[in-house]
A and B are shown apart, each in its own frame.
Chain A
């Protein structure tokens, strides 16, 4: 997802858009920007979007299956008990 943002540029309608600060600062800003892009790629190996998507899909599929499992009674009982203990005798379920 981050890779999609890499192509982002500053708005430069008037031709001055990239000059955020004084001339001196501009060069520095650009260097920092390029550097941070480079760093990201250098320190963290990055997957292409296709592989990322496949990993993500498998992960969610596995997770969804777990989410679909019925809630064990112990949790319903636990929360019901606490309701009763507090006098709020809810006859739900």
Chain B
């Protein structure tokens, strides 16, 4: 029934796992759930191999599957559990055994405060290496929408992390200081 996965394809799928996991963990904030998502993604991909157009971006295809699985599951869970944002933020902090360092704790919790669509767009473009066009394709929305979400995500992160304060040390303030001195 399933078309025979050639060794190269198996290797390609295996090679995609680290980036799928990184995306799923960052998206869901939970390693266990992320691994279930990745597993479901692989199974679904294998069952639908005939739909994959050879020569197109395998990673983008896999990310699309994972993203859709995440959202359908998220909608289901949302009906069951209230306060999804709060629990997400709480969960993000509880994964130090996965080798995450304290350095990233602030960043993770800031990321958790973003609306899901912004977080997703930023992860695709800013971390997973997809173009705006590819990210738009993966999320099923317009390129402009992705750009806007990425901008907003960055802006929000900057204010959450007080990045802009640090920027006062930039050329502008130096010029100001020079003029004052």
Interface centre among A2, A76, A86 (most CB of B within 10 A): A86
Give per-residue flags for B123-161: 1 if the beta carbon is below 8 A from chain A beta carbons, else 0. Answer: 100111000000000000000000110011011011001
- B interface, how many residues as a size bin? 35 or more
Which among A51, A56, A66, A92 is the interface contact of B22 at CB below 8 angstroms?
A: A66
Q: Chain B interface secondary structure, helix, strand, loop or mixed? A: helix
Give per-residue flags for A28-47: 1 if the beta carbon is below 8 A from chain B beta carbons, else 0. Answer: 00000000000000011111
CB–CB A83/B18 < 8 A: no
CB–CB A60/B4 < 8 A: no
CB–CB B4/A86 < 8 A: yes
CB–CB B7/A90 < 8 A: yes
Interface: B76 (CB within 8 A): no
Which among B7, B17, B127, B151 is the interface contact of A46 at CB below 8 angstroms?
A: B151
Interface: B91 (CB within 8 A): no
List 9 other contacts, CB 8 Å, given A55-B158, A60-B126, A76-B14: A43-B148, A54-B163, A54-B166, A56-B126, A60-B127, A62-B104, A63-B123, A67-B19, A79-B10
Choose the segment among B38-46, B54-62, B67-75, B78-86 that binds chain A (4+ C-beta atoms closer than 8 Å).
Answer: B38-46
CB–CB A63/B39 < 8 A: no
Residues of B within 8 A of A (CB): 2, 4-7, 10, 13-14, 17-19, 21-22, 25-26, 35, 38-39, 42-43, 46, 98-101, 103-104, 107-108, 111, 122-123, 126-128, 147-148, 151-152, 154-155, 157-158, 161, 163-164, 166-167, 170
Give per-residue flags for A72-85: 1 if the beta carbon is below 8 A from chain B beta carbons, else 0. Answer: 10111011101101
Given the contacts A46-B155, A52-B154, A92-B7, A59 and B127 also touching, CB distance less than 8 Å: yes
- A interface, how many residues as a size bin? 35 or more
Bound Cα distance from A46 to B156, whole angstroms:
10
- A selection of 17 A-B contacts at a CB cut-off of 8 Å is A44-B152, A45-B152, A48-B167, A50-B167, A59-B126, A62-B100, A63-B26, A65-B99, A66-B26, A67-B18, A74-B39, A75-B38, A79-B14, A83-B5, A86-B2, A90-B7, A90-B10
